[in-house]
Amino acid sequence: MNSIILIARLTKDPELKFVAGSGKAVAKFSIAVDREFSKEKKTDFFNIECWGKTAENVANYLVKGSRVAIRGSVQNSNYEKDGKTVYGTKIVAERVEFLSKKSETGNEPTSKSNDEYDFSKFETVDGSETPF
């Protein structure tokens, strides 16, 4: 089984592109995940890729600093460059849930604790109900 769930913040604004020919949307961005059980503060960084309507929503509503929950799978890749093999890892997101929302200016997200949200009005990217 290849499944991963991460809660993190975006390290840059998402980049939205459309695949030539099919016109399918793809969004790419990176996230920072803090290690909670480390004696010293450590952060891991992951590259994220999502497709379709999820990609469009991510590009339209998320900015650097937005807090998200991501469920997806890990994919490894490699290619040859200057005679050397280069390895890469990315997370392909199947679901992205927004955990913070844009401020009134639209430039930076405002973060609230779970106690401050009215979850009855909360929507996920794919339109499903929240699990709590």
Do the beta carbons of residue 84 and residue 116 sit within 8 Å?
Answer: no
Q: Residue 80 is encoded by which pair of tokens?
A: 């040859």
Which residues, including other chains, have CB under 8 Å from residue 122's CB and lie 6 or more apart?
130
Backbone angles phi, psi at 127, to 5 degrees: 85, 0
Q: In angstroms, rounded to a whole number, what is the distance separating the alpha carbons of residues 58 and 124?
A: 11
pLDDT at 39: 79
pTM for the model stands at 0.72
Q: Which structural domains are found in the chain, ordered by start?
A: 4-121 (2.40.50.140)
3-state DSSP assignment of residue 53: helix
Question: pLDDT digit of tens for each residue in the chain (132 aa)?
Answer: 999 999 999 999 999 999 999 999 999 999 999 988 767 888 999 999 999 999 999 999 999 999 999 999 999 999 999 999 999 999 999 999 999 865 533 555 444 444 444 444 444 445 555 444
pLDDT at 77: 92
3-state DSSP assignment of residue 56: helix
Cα 25 to Cα 22, 71, 79, 85, 91: the distances in Å are 9, 18, 24, 29, 16
Q: In angstroms, rounded to a whole number, what is the distance separating the alpha carbons of residues 66 and 31?
A: 9
